[in-house]
């Protein structure tokens, strides 16, 4: 099937979130053709001229099965985490053998038809892939409000702390390093204690 | 009566054929003479030309005779032949140019000038060539503008068109080549016109030789070789082509350069360029007396030879003979006040003798004397880079390159400098490390610690501290390292010390197991000490021997060890006596001689220390620093004649290696060939139990057959016959594999421990040993084995994690920290986990500040990483920070 064939087939799902991973050699041109809203397109190569057999699929699948891809330790591997894992492991494979890298993977999820080799959710691609998982999330992580009001409050507090940490990270480059570390530590301690409180409460119930 | 009649008839017959046939005959003989001269049959050519020139009327024959005599160095005879013709033909200008050429070769410059002018004034058929030689004479006297004006006129000659002969086209090309100093594009034109000259007369070797010399001047070795090969294919005895080819070979590090040089001198014992080159080669061997002798011999032939004066000046300088140096310099500057190449030669030869700071000074004087000495700028820049002055070095190389963009060495070095932006420079207490940004984080972890340790130990050993910072450049590409060192790719070395600057291969530049970067760094730092202590006067053999010896002292299993090939060389008298050991490095006569010389020199140092104590080594370095020769150093410091010591040293080797020497059969080995059959190996092993290689080979065969039990006695016997052998396929290795397969882990460990104690560079053996020891619960030993692999191949992330774990389990928390840092430097996908592990290692090492920083970084990436969250609280509690 060509990229156009896929485009036609996928047009039947205009509102759903779609993840399409083409791990074949010479798969790069799929990005331009299939890029669109609510879509994550991953290809093993950056162009149609990278024709050697690819390793990307092996590591992309491994990301969901082995330890190491869940870099934010939320117990789930997002599409972005799996992509990053596969990309780095492919690169390492080639470097360790002293051979030239013949596949450069791409990810596109902002619909601009241009894939990113190293996605940056804040600047280019990756924002959607960071939040999309191939399996369902625990209810709390997915945003469902627990019935227990105390637990709900704790989850709300936790979420607020996570947002504050994310906001602090955004300001890192503008801040004094010592002040940044102090504020980060305070927020992380609060987050740790909140997480522990959640765990204790959940164990009781 | 009968006889009288017959004689008369013969006379009549001669008269009958004489008038018409004589010119034909003479032309044929002239052609034959010319052909003999071109093909290098000099005796035949001289005889033929002598016959033709006998009546004194043939200018062409005389010119040929003069040329033939000059090519074999019979300059007096050549001059006499020319003068005879001139005396007999005072109206003819045809031989004045030939006379001028011979006079130039003898240094009679005024007379030569007069001769060239007469040829020009008389409009001789070779007057254009005379004009060129006259201009060259002016150029060599320093009358640069007059010479350049004259060279410039050759462009007009060419542009006017007309039917120029091959010799005339060669003259035009040579003039254009001189003009290239101001307009480098003209070098291309020069080459084009040389090609035209070759096309005009393919038998004229002069343009081919000049093409070779031009390429040689620009360090374009392959093209130079091709040009000289073309000449030597026609005339294998051509002295200039032989010297040109020898110089090309020296440039490429080919040890056969001397053979070609000597061939040239066999043809022409008075050939000044050959004598000068011989002087330079002897200087590289640090044989100063012989070098001076060769230069002086050249000056006897041609007292005005600027090249010979430069070689003599360099020799005198390196001998420490200041007066002799000043004399040579004075003579050269009287002959040519703009002769920058005197200083360029000094700079080049100083650098070849590792006097890089002096090379900078000389090159500086060259460009001061002649601001258009592009070679001077190149030498200045290259040597400034070697002494660590990177910015100035680059600026001068750029100047040199602008003036001479065809200098391959300069171009390669500038290209390399452009890549320096990809390197990280980090300065520590004593060192500046320049490491490729892709691996600087990882390598800095290890390089800094090891370099510091080496500095401390060497400083303590020698009671001396070289000035710091020492710059250490680490190249991911061997080609880049090679360019940094010799300006070209293809050098085989692993590292080089210029004194304050060390350049070396990165472990990523080589195949795994090819080299041990740790011992290489140690080796090069040892050179830095030796060079600095002796003001760069230490001879190469002693510095190399000491550096290898220091490697062995640094870590068990580092440095070269004895090989069957080395012992075979000892048996076959192929190892050099101590007094001439330098030749093994500078002019190896067989492929393994350099490697053998390293090891041999290290044994010499070992024996000196054994006999005279460690202080003797330091005293010897100091004596070299005072300018003593090796013979003087042995006499004054060790109170022994170097040759006597050498005899004792060979006895020492015979005794030390008596067991393996008795087990080697080099002659039989050679007769066996490379691929003996299995049956042959079995027969040799069973017939001669004392044959090391047969025992080892049959052990291999049986192992490969899977007959492990049968293999063991042969491998054990091989080990007993040559216990020091721990190289590829050693008995230790195979016995370890067999023991492991049998489940005898302690025995396997013992074999591998013995192997790595001799040869710590074996990556596979260290990994195997680590596994075996870990299985046996001997964790410290396992960690030590893995630690050794880091000095061979530090890029295996899993290995660092494993080593960190072993260190943690054995309480070596600082070691664990180092290894966890290495994991992070290798850019793990799960960075949060790696930072968490690093934090734990810091925490265990009681480094709470770094533990806090690392765990915060882990949580910055993964705020919900619960293990890291717990650790953060633990760290805060330990630091008294509550919660």
Confidence bin at B491 (pLDDT 50/70/90): low
pLDDT > 90? residue B9: no
Mean pLDDT of B160-168: 90
**Lookup: tokens for B484:** 């940094």
State whether residue A2 sits within 8 Å of chain B by CB.
Answer: no
Confidence bin at A138 (pLDDT 50/70/90): low
The closest alpha carbon to B412, from B484, B475, B470, belongs to B484
Instruction: Note the pLDDT tens digit of each residue in B307-336.
Output: 999 999 999 998 889 999 999 999 999 999
Instruction: Report CB contact under 8 Å: B795, A188.
Output: no
Question: What's the gap in Å between the CA of A4 and the closest CA on chain B?
Answer: 34
E-assigned strands of A39-91? 39-43
Instruction: Report CB contact under 8 Å: A189, B883.
Output: yes
In angstroms, the Cα distances linking B29 to B35, B46, B68, B284 are 10, 12, 15, 46
pLDDT > 90? residue B103: yes
pTM to 2 decimals? 0.80
Instruction: Report CB contact under 8 Å: B862, A74.
Output: yes
**Lookup: tokens for A117:** 């080799």
Instruction: Report CB contact under 8 Å: A68, B829.
Output: yes
Mean pLDDT of A148-176: 90
Confidence bin at B532 (pLDDT 50/70/90): very high
Provide the 3-class DSSP secondary structure of residue B753: helix
Taking the C-alpha atoms of residue B419 and residue B412, their distance in angstroms, rounded to an integer, is: 11
Question: What's the gap in Å between the CA of B831 and the closest CA on chain A?
Answer: 7
Instruction: Note the pLDDT tens digit of each residue in B762-780.
Output: 999 999 999 999 999 999 9
State the pLDDT at residue B408.
84
Instruction: Report CB contact under 8 Å: B873, A189.
Output: yes
State the pLDDT at residue A141.
52
Instruction: Note the pLDDT tens digit of each residue in B359-400.
Output: 999 999 999 999 999 999 999 999 999 999 999 999 999 999
State the pLDDT at residue B489.
61
Q: Which residues of A touch B830 (CB under 8 A)?
A: 67-71
Taking the C-alpha atoms of residue A174 and residue B132, their distance in angstroms, rounded to an integer, is: 71
Instruction: Note the pLDDT tens digit of each residue in B570-625.
Output: 999 999 999 999 999 888 888 899 999 999 999 999 999 999 999 999 999 999 99
Question: What's the gap in Å between the CA of B763 and the closest CA on chain A?
Answer: 15
What is the side-by-side order of every strand in the sheet holding A106-108?
A18-22, A39-43, A106-108
The closest alpha carbon to B772, from B755, B792, B794, B752, belongs to B752
State the pLDDT at residue B360.
96
Highest-scoring range by mean pLDDT, A43-57, A125-139, B8-22? A43-57
**Phi and psi (nearest 5°) for B590?**
-145, 155
The number of CA neighbours under 13 Å toward the Cβ of B165 is 10
State the pLDDT at residue B250.
86
Confidence bin at B3 (pLDDT 50/70/90): very low
Instruction: Report CB contact under 8 Å: B866, A189.
Output: no
Instruction: Report CB contact under 8 Å: B873, A70.
Output: no
Instruction: Report CB contact under 8 Å: A162, B865.
Output: no
Taking the C-alpha atoms of residue B130 and residue B341, their distance in angstroms, rounded to an integer, is: 25
State whether residue A70 sits within 8 Å of chain B by CB.
Answer: yes
pLDDT > 50? residue B755: yes
Q: Which residues of A touch B853 (CB under 8 A)?
A: 181
Q: Which residues of B touch A70 (CB under 8 A)?
A: 830
Q: Which residues of B touch A192 (CB under 8 A)?
A: 869-870, 872-873
The closest alpha carbon to B484, from B390, B361, B358, belongs to B390
Question: What's the gap in Å between the CA of B744 and the closest CA on chain A?
Answer: 33
State the pLDDT at residue B11.
38
DSSP string of B202-271? TT--HHHHHHHHHHHHTT-HHHHHHHHHHHHHH-TT-HHHHHHHHHHHHHTT-TTHHHHHHHHHHH-TT-
Indicate the residue of A89, A191, A193 with minimum beta-carbon distance to B829. A89
Report how many Cβ contacts below 8 Å link chain A to chain B.
74
Provide the 3-class DSSP secondary structure of residue A55: coil
State the pLDDT at residue A106.
97
Mean pLDDT of B705-721: 96
| Residue A181: closest C-alpha in chain B | B856
Taking the C-alpha atoms of residue B807 and residue B823, their distance in angstroms, rounded to an integer, is: 14
Mean pLDDT of A185-203: 93
Q: Is B624 left (phi over 0), alpha (psi -120 to 50) or beta?
A: alpha
Mean pLDDT of A96-117: 90
Question: What's the gap in Å between the CA of A126 and the closest CA on chain B?
Answer: 16
State whether residue A175 sits within 8 Å of chain B by CB.
Answer: no
Taking the C-alpha atoms of residue B715 and residue B751, their distance in angstroms, rounded to an integer, is: 11
**Residues whose CB is less than 8 angstroms from the CB of residue B98 and which lie 6 or more positions away in sequence, other chains included:** B62, B63, B66, B67, B78, B82, B126
Q: Which residues of A touch B859 (CB under 8 A)?
A: 184, 188
Confidence bin at B553 (pLDDT 50/70/90): very high
- If one compares A144 and B782, the residue with the highest pLDDT of the two is B782
Instruction: Note the pLDDT tens digit of each residue in B231-259.
Output: 999 999 999 999 999 999 988 878 788 99
| Residue B508: closest C-alpha in chain A | A98
Q: Which residues of A touch B869 (CB under 8 A)?
A: 188, 191-192, 195
Lowest mean pLDDT among B34-43, B412-421, B526-535, B730-739: B412-421
Instruction: Note the pLDDT tens digit of each residue in B223-236.
Output: 999 999 999 999 99
Confidence bin at B657 (pLDDT 50/70/90): very high
Which of B438, B863, B865 to mutate: most A Cβ within 10 Å? Answer: B863
State the pLDDT at residue B13.
35
Report chain B's terminal Cα–Cα distance, integer Å. Answer: 145
The number of CA neighbours under 13 Å toward the Cβ of B98 is 31
Confidence bin at B353 (pLDDT 50/70/90): confident
Radius of gyration of chain B (CA): 35
Contact A44, A25 (CB under 8 A): yes
Question: What's the gap in Å between the CA of A74 and the closest CA on chain B?
Answer: 6
Instruction: Note the pLDDT tens digit of each residue in B784-833.
Output: 999 999 999 999 999 999 999 999 999 999 999 999 999 999 989 899 99
DSSP string of B455-487? HHHHHHHHT----SPEEEEEESSHHHHHHHHHS
| Residue B793: closest C-alpha in chain A | A96
State the pLDDT at residue B19.
42
Mean pLDDT of B263-273: 97
Question: What's the gap in Å between the CA of A176 and the closest CA on chain B?
Answer: 15
């Amino acid at each position: 099937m060509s990229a156009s064939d896929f485009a036609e087939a996928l047009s039947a799902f205009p509102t759903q979130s779609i993840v399409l991973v083409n791990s074949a050699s010479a798969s790069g041109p799929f990005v331009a053709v299939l890029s669109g809203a609510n879509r994550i397109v991953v290809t093993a190569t950056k162009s149609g001229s990278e024709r050697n057999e690819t390793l990307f699929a092996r590591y992309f699948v491994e990301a969901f099965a082995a330890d190491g891809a869940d870099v934010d330790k939320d117990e789930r591997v997002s599409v972005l985490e799996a992509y990053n894992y596969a990309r780095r492991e492919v690169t390492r494979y080639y470097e360790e053998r002293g051979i030239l890298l013949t596949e450069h993977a791409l990810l596109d999820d902002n619909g601009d038809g241009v894939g990113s080799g190293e996605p940056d959710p804040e600047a280019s691609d990756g924002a959607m892939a960071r939040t999309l998982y191939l399996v369902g999330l625990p209810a709390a992580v997915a945003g469902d409000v627990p019935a227990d009001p105390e637990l709900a409050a704790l989850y709300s507090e936790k979420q607020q702390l996570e947002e504050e940490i994310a906001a602090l990270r955004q300001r890192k480059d503008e801040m004094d390093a010592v002040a940044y570390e102090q504020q980060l530590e305070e927020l992380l301690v609060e987050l740790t204690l909140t997480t522990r409180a959640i765990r204790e409460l959940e164990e009781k119930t | 009566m009968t006889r009288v009649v017959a004689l008369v008839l013969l006379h009549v017959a001669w008269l009958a054929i004489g008038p018409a046939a004589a010119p034909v005959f003479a032309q044929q003989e002239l052609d034959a003479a010319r052909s003999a001269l071109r093909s290098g049959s000099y005796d035949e050519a001289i005889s033929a030309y002598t016959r033709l020139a006998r009546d004194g009327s043939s200018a062409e024959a005389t010119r040929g005779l003069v040329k033939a005599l000059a090519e074999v160095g019979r300059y007096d005879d050549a001059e006499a032949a020319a003068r005879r013709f001139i005396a007999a033909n005072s109206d003819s200008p045809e031989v004045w140019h030939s006379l001028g050429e011979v006079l130039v070769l003898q240094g009679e410059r005024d007379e030569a000038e007069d001769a060239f002018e007469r040829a020009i004034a008389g409009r001789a058929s070779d007057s254009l060539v005379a004009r060129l030689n006259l201009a060259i004479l002016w150029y060599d006297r320093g009358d640069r503008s007059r010479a350049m004006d004259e060279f410039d006129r050759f462009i007009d000659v060419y542009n006017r068109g007309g039917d120029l002969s091959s010799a005339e086209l060669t003259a035009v090309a040579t003039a254009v080549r001189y003009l290239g100093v101001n307009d480098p594009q003209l070098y291309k034109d020069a080459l084009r016109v040389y090609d035209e000259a070759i096309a005009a007369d393919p038998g004229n070797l002069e343009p081919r030789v000049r093409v070779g010399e031009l390429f040689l001047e620009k360090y374009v070795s392959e093209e130079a070789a091709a040009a000289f090969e073309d000449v030597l294919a026609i005339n294998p005895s051509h002295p200039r082509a032989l010297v040109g080819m020898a110089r090309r070979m020296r440039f490429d590090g080919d040890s056969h350069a001397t053979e070609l040089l000597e061939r040239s001198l066999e043809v022409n014992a008075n050939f000044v360029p050959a004598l000068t080159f011989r002087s330079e080669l002897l200087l590289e061997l640090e044989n100063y007396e012989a070098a001076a002798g060769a230069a002086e011999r050249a000056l006897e032939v041609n007292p005005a030879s600027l090249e010979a004066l430069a070689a003599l000046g360099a020799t005198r300088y390196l001998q420490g003979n200041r007066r002799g140096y000043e004399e040579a310099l004075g003579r050269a500057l009287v002959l040519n006040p703009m002769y920058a190449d005197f200083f360029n030669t000094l700079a080049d030869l100083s650098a070849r003798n590792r006097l890089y700071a002096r090379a900078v000074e000389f090159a500086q004087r060259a460009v001061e004397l002649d601001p258009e000495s592009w070679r001077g700028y190149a030498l200045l820049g290259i040597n400034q880079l070697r002494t660590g002055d990177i910015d100035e070095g680059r600026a001068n190389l750029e100047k040199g390159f602008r003036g001479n963009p065809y200098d391959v060495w300069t171009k390669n070095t500038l290209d390399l400098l452009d890549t320096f932006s990809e390197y990280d420079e980090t300065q520590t207490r004593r060192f500046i490390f320049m490491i490729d940004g892709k691996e600087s984080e990882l390598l800095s972890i290890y390089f800094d610690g090891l370099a510091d340790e080496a500095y401390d130990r060497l400083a303590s050993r020698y009671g001396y501290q070289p000035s710091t910072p020492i710059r250490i450049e680490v190249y991911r590409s061997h080609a880049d390292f090679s360019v940094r060192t010799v300006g070209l790719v293809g050098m085989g070395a692993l590292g080089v010390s210029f004194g304050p600057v060390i350049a070396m291969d990165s472990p990523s530049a080589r195949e795994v197991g090819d080299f041990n970067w740790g011992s290489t760094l140690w080796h090069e730092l040892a050179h830095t000490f030796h060079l600095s202590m002796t003001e760069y006067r230490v001879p190469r053999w002693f510095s190399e021997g000491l550096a290898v010896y220091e490697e062995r002292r640094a870590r068990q299993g580092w440095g070269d060890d004895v090989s069957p090939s080395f012992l075979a060389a000892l048996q076959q008298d192929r190892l050099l006596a101590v007094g001439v050991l330098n030749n093994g490095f500078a002019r190896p006569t067989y492929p393994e001689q350099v490697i053998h010389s390293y090891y041999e020199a290290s044994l010499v140092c070992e024996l000196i220390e054994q006999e005279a104590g460690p202080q003797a080594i330091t005293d010897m370095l100091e004596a070299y620093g005072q300018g003593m020769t090796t013979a003087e150093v042995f006499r004054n410091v060790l109170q022994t004649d170097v040759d006597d010591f050498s005899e004792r040293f060979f006895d020492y080797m015979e005794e030390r290696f008596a067991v393996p020497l008795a087990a080697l059969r080099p002659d039989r080995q050679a007769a066996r060939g490379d691929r003996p059959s299995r049956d042959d190996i079995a027969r040799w092993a069973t017939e001669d139990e004392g044959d090391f290689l047969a025992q080892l080979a049959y052990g291999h065969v049986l192992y490969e057959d899977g007959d492990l039990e049968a293999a063991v006695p042969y491998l054990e016997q091989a080990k007993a016959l040559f216990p020091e052998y721990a190289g590829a396929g050693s008995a230790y290795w195979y016995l370890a594999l067999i023991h492991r397969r049998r489940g005898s882990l302690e025995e396997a460990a013992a074999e591998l421990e013995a192997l790595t104690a001799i040869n710590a560079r074996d990556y596979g053996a260290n990994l195997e040993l680590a596994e075996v020891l870990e299985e046996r619960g001997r964790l410290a030993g396992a960690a030590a084995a893995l630690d050794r692999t880091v000095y061979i191949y530090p890029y295996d992330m899993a290995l660092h994690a494993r080593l960190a774990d072993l260190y943690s389990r054995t309480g070596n928390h600082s070691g664990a920290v180092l290894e966890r840092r290495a994991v992070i430097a290798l850019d793990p996908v799960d960075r949060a986990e790696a930072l968490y592990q690093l934090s734990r290692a810091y925490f265990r090492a009681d480094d709470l500040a770094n533990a806090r920083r690392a765990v915060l970084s882990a949580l910055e990436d993964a705020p919900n990483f619960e293990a890291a969250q717990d650790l953060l609280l633990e760290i805060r509690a330990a630091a008294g920070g509550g919660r």
